A and B are shown apart, each in its own frame.
Chain A
Amino acid sequence: MIEARALSKRFQDKKRGEIRAVDNVSFTCQPGKIYGLLGANGAGKTTTLRMLATILEPTDGTAIVCGHDVVEQPEKVRANVGFLSTATALYRRLTAQEFVEYFGRLNGLDEATLKKRVDDIFNRLDMNGFRDRRCDKLSTGMMQKTSIARTLVHDPPVMIFDEPTNGLDIMTARTITAFIRECRNSGKTVIFSTHIMSEVEKLCDTIGIIQSGKLLVEGSLDQLRDKYAEHELEEIFVKVVTPHFVAEEAN
C-alpha cells in the first residue's frame, strides 16, 4: 500500500526562483489496484513518483510505502518497490542476466534464491534467448523485458511505473501494459503515471489528475464520468485542467 501525505517538492531555479513541482499532494493506492497519475508534461508526475521511490526527498510531507516512511526509512522503502521508467536505462556492458543478478544482489538476495528467481523470471518473460547477450546489443523490446526482470527480481509488493511506454513502439508498449495488469492480478500495489488517456482508461482502477504540482481530482473512471458529465477521459481531463492551465499561463 502507498499513502502519500501532503507530499511537496520545491526546487530553486536561478531564473524563475522557487518552483513548486509537487504541492501538497495526498492519495492512497491499494494492493491489487492500479492508481493512474494523469497529467501533462511538467505537471509533477515524475517528481511525485521519484519521491515515492525515494530517489528524491520531499521538501514537506511524506509518504508511507508498505509501512515504511519515505523520509525516515528510504532504503526499506526501496527494498519493497520496483521502479520502472523510460529513464531507467540498462548497464550496456553487462549481459541481461548479469544486469538482473546485480540488482538481485543489491536487494539482498542470497545466491541460491537469486539463481532460482532469475531462472524463473527469464522463463516467464521468455528471455532465455538473450540472457548472455550484452545489454547494448539488445533490441528495444528485449531491453524493456530486461528492465521488467530487474524490477521483479526481489518480488516487491509495490510497483511504480513512470511513463513506462513513452517513446516505445506498439508491441513493446503492449508488453509493458500486460505486465502492469499482471502485477495488479498478483496483488501488488501499482501506481503508474502517463499522459496517454487510452492507457489510463484500459488499466487504472483509480485516476488522479495532476497539474502544476497539485492533485486536482481523484476517482474511478466512472466516478469522473458522472462528475464531469463526459464519457471520454480526454474531455474530462481538459475540463479539469483548463482553468488551472489558463491561470498558469496568465502568471
Chain B
Amino acid sequence: MSMRNVGIVYRKELTEALRDRRTVISTILVPLLLFPVLSVGFGSLAVTLVGKAKEEVPKVMLRGGEDSPAVIEGLKKLDKIEIVPETPGWKDQIINKEIRAAVEIPSGFQADVAQQKSDTVKIFNYQGEMKSEFASDKIETYMKEYRDKVVKERLAAKNLAETVLKPFEVNRENVAPPEKVSGAAFGGIIGYMVILLCMTGAMYPSMDLTAGEKERGTMETILSSPISRMHLVLGKFFLILTAALGTAALSVLSMGVSFSVLSHYTGKTEGGRAAAAEFVLKLGPKTVISVFLMALPIAVLFSATLMTIALFAKTYKEAQSYLTPMTFVVIIPAVAAMLPGVELTPKLSLIPILGTSLLCKELVAGTYHWNLIAIIFASNCVYAAVALFLAIKMFQRESVLFRS
C-alpha cells in the first residue's frame, strides 16, 4: 500500500478543512467554547447565585406565638434572619417573594411544652424556590434545636442520661480519596462528552468529504486521477478521524481549564467555596491518556461508519438527514452509562458505546479493570475494522459513487 498517496490526499483534505469556516467552527471553536460557556459561564453563575442566596437575610413572618416569648426571642436572635410581624395576605407574600417563609407557633405553645403536651409548629414556604428553602431550613433547624434542648432538660429533671433516648450513634465515613469521589460523580459525564464530541467532530467532515464532494462535482475529477480508491478513502478517513479526535482532545483540554478556572473563581465567596467543592474534578495525565486510548477505536468506528453512511447521499443535505438520527444512536447508550446503578460488566463491555462510556467513568475514578479494558479495546477495534472495511468497499461501488 502506498502511504505516499494516502498522505497526499490527507494533506489536501486537511488544507481544505482548515480553510472551511463550518469545519473550523464544528471541530475547533465549539469544543473549545462549549465548556467555558457551560461551566465557567453557567457554573459560576449558579455558584454565585447559590452563594448570594445563602448570604441574603430573608424575611420570615411570625404567626401567633404571643404567649410564647422565649421561643419568639430565640427566633429573633437567629443570625441572618429578619422576623417580621404578621400582616394579611401572607401566603401571597411568600408566592410573590416579598417574604421568604412564615412560621406558625400554636396558641399556648410554651405552656403546652412545659406541661409535656404535644404541639405542631408549622413552617410555610415556596417549595423549590431556593431562597425560601434556605429560610425554612434555618427556622426548622432552630425549632429542632429547641426541641432537643427541651428533651435534655426533661431527662435532666428525671436524672436520666441522654443515652436513654440515643443509645448509639450512626456515622457514615467516606474512605474513597477525593478524585474517586468526584470521578464517581462526574466520570460518566466525561465519557459521555468525549464520545459525543468524537461523533460531532467526525460528522461534518464525513459529509463534506463524501456527499459534499459529489454535490460539488469533484468526485469525478478525483476518480479520474491514478490514485486507487482504497488510498483515496483512507486519506479521507484519516482526516475525519483527526477531526473526531481533535474535537474530543480540545473538549477535554477546555473542560480541564474550565474546571480549574471555575474552582479558582468561586473560591472568592464563602458560599461559593462550599458550592465549588461539589463541582471540582481533577483529571491527571494518566486518566486523560487512558480515556483517549479507549476513545481511539470508538473514533475510528464513528469516522468509518459516518463516512460510509454519508457516501450514500447525493447531496450534503441528504447526508445530514441520514446522519442526524445517528446522534440518538450514540446518545442513548452514552446516557445509559450515566444512570445510577449501571455498572461495567463483561456483557455490557461488548456493547460498543455503552462499554466505553462505562469504562471512562471507572477510569476517571481511577479504577482500572484490566480484563474489561482488554475486552472493550479489542471488541471496539473489531467493530472499527469492520466499519473501515465497509467504507472501503462502499467507495468501490459505482452504484454508491454515481447514485442518481
Contact = CB atoms under 8 A, between A and B. Distances in A.
Interface of A: 50, 53, 55-57, 75-76, 78-79, 81, 83, 85, 87-94, 98, 102-103, 105-108, 134, 150
Given A75-B226, A107-B226, A89 B398 contact: no
Contacts of A102: 8, 12
10 contacts: A55-B224, A56-B402, A78-B225, A89-B216, A89-B220, A91-B16, A102-B8, A103-B225, A106-B5, A107-B225
Closest 10 CB pairs of A and B: A89-B217, A83-B224, A79-B226, A88-B221, A78-B226, A93-B19, A93-B16, A106-B225, A55-B223, A105-B8
Nearest to B221: A88
A57 B20 CA distance: 34
Interface size class of B (residues with CB under 8 A): 20 to 34
A53 B226 CA distance: 10
Nearest to B215: A89
B12 A88 contact: no
Given A88-B221, A93-B19, A94-B15, 18 more contacts: A53-B224, A56-B398, A56-B402, A75-B228, A88-B217, A88-B218, A88-B224, A90-B218, A91-B12, A91-B16, A91-B218, A98-B15, A102-B12, A103-B225, A106-B225, A107-B225, A134-B19, A150-B221
Nearest to A81: B224
Contacts of B221: 88-91, 150
Contact of B12 (A56, A75, A94): A94
B161 interface: no
Contact of B218 (A50, A76, A83, A89): A89
B227 interface: yes
B8 to A, nearest CB: 5
A249 to B, nearest CB: 22
A93 B226 contact: no
Nearest to B2: A108
Interface string B221-260: 1011111100000000000000000000000000000000
A90 B219 CA distance: 10
A106 B8 contact: yes
Contact of B227 (A57, A93, A94, A106): A106
A57 B228 CA distance: 14
Contacts of A85: 220
Interface string B370-404: 00000000000000000000000000001000100
Contacts of B8: 102, 105-106
Contact of A93 (B20, B224, B398): B20
A76 B216 CA distance: 26
Contact of A78 (B9, B12, B224): B224
A16 to B, nearest CB: 13
B216 A92 contact: yes
A79 B225 CA distance: 7
Contacts of B226: 75-76, 78-79, 106-108
Contacts of B19: 93, 134
Contacts of B9: 106
Nearest to A85: B220
A72 B192 CA distance: 48
Contacts of B220: 50, 55, 85, 87-89
Contacts of B225: 78, 103, 106-107
Contacts of B398: 56-57
A217 to B, nearest CB: 28
A79 B2 CA distance: 15
Nearest to B402: A56
Given A57-B398, A78-B226, A106-B8, A93 B216 contact: no
Contacts of A87: 217, 220
A103 to B, nearest CB: 6
A55 B232 CA distance: 14
A75 B224 CA distance: 9
Interface in B348-384: none
A54 to B, nearest CB: 8
B100 to A, nearest CB: 59
Most buried by A among B9, B16, B19, B220: B220
Contact of B15 (A53, A57, A93): A93
Contacts of A94: 12, 15-16
A152 to B, nearest CB: 13
Most buried by B among A53, A79, A83, A88: A88
